[in-house]
Amino acid sequence: MSAAASTVARPAGRNRYSTGSLPRRINLYTLPGSFILAAAVMGLLGFNWFGLAAFTALIYLAAISGLSLVVENRRRAMDRFIRGLVTSAFLLALLPLVSTLWTVVSKGIGVLSWEFIGTSGGGTTINPDTLELVTSSGALQAIVGTLEITGLATLFSVPIGLLTAIYLVEYAAPTHWLRRTVNFLVDVMTGIPSIVAGLFAFSLFTLILGPKAFSGLSAAVALSVLMIPTVVRSCEEMLRLVPADLREAAYALGVTKFVTIVKVVIPTAIAGIATGITLAIARVIGETAPIFMAASFTDAFNGNPLAGPMQTLPVMAYTGYKFPGQDIALSNSQAWGAALLLVLLVVVLNLVARIIAAIFAPKTSR
């Protein structure tokens, strides 16, 4: 019998790469069913939103993997299981964020108004209709304090952090003792608790100006201690991503090292640098403990960061719950309004950073 005849006579086996497949919309069928089954289980055990989400994810993973193993093959079943596991982990991680945002927006949106933004808290006015004294519940002093303190901290931190990153990437030798020392100190500063930075600034200004030297400048110094290591690390990584060929091309044209850094390296990495600075600002703009220690708090408007206590949005949110006034409901509403304003301010800063990065990023062409 020839080889061709034996090949024809042998029964064709099942191709392990050509099997059945589940419907394209199987996820749309499996996920609602998993949710209903998990809701039934949680109804017996006691309802809990986190438990419901966890049970839904487990039932969905078991169902989609089992169906794929029966209809398709083990390789595709494992692929569906891993994809479902990654998606479930992402959604579970997203739940606290969505819950927090929903709570802040739902409780703060009713307080947010132009009167709340444009007036200072702690003042009293006369209602023209009833001729009664009405306590104002504005957040102008907290908005101004947040912008001034964060702006001063950024003014202190960005030049120091950027120049330090340039030194580490462009000038320092890999084995130089000063580079190793700077890297060690930056790593240590990254892990400093925020309350320690506040105590440092408070102690420093107390030694210089005397007791109870509360000021926005003191709070800005405390925030800059927290902000500098973030700026250094983010700018350092962005500068390292600039190809060495660009530097060598500039040197080949006779350009000095300083001009190469200013005209080639920094413009190439400006998008990442802007993003890193924005992350550093977002890191400190919501800090409460160091500002509470260094600048204290006040309901009166104070636009001078060099003297007197100042209010910020995170401190306003904290004091609204911790130290409410005679009208507890008003203090709580002020706290939620301050929290919502802080979230909106962070969103605006991120949008500004993206616009700056888009404007100053190097233009490429084909």
**362 or 258: which carries more pLDDT confidence?**
258
**Which pLDDT does position 70 carry in this prediction?**
84
pLDDT of residue 362: 63
State pLDDT tens for residues 172-215: 888 888 888 888 888 888 888 888 888 888 888 888 887 878 88
Token pair of 111 as six digits:
């307080």
What region does 192 belong to: left with phi over 0, alpha with psi -120 to 50, or beta?
Answer: beta
Class of CATH domain 135-360: mainly alpha
**pLDDT-derived band at 66, boundaries 50, 70, 90:** confident
Task: Provide the pLDDT for residue 89.
Answer: 82
pLDDT of 1: 46
Q: Which long-range contacts (CB under 8 A, 24 or more apart) does 324-331 make?
A: 325/135, 327/135, 330/135, 330/137
Spans of all domains in the chain = 20-108, 135-360
The answer, yes or no, to whether residue 132 has pLDDT greater than 50, is no
DSSP reduced 3-state for 89 = helix
- pLDDT of the residue at 361: 66
- Choose the weakest-confidence range: 113-127, 167-181, 221-235, 338-352: 113-127
Residue type at 297 in one-letter notation: F
Ramachandran category for residue 131: left, alpha or beta (phi over 0 → left; psi -120 to 50 → alpha): left
Q: Evaluate if residue 8 carries a pLDDT over 60.
A: no
Give 73-85 as a DSSP string: -HHHHHHHHHHHH
3-state secondary structure of 18: coil
**Segments of the chain assigned E as strands:** 121-126, 133-137
Largest CA distance in the chain: 115
**How sure is the predictor about 160, in pLDDT bands with cuts at 50, 70 and 90?**
very high
Q: How far is CA 347 from CA 230, 305, 344, 350, 353, in A?
A: 19, 25, 5, 5, 10
* Mean pLDDT of the chain, nearest integer: 80
Give the pLDDT of residue 122: 54
For residues 98 and 10, give the distance between their C-alpha atoms in angstroms, rounded to a whole number: 60
pLDDT tier at 10, thresholds 50, 70, 90: very low
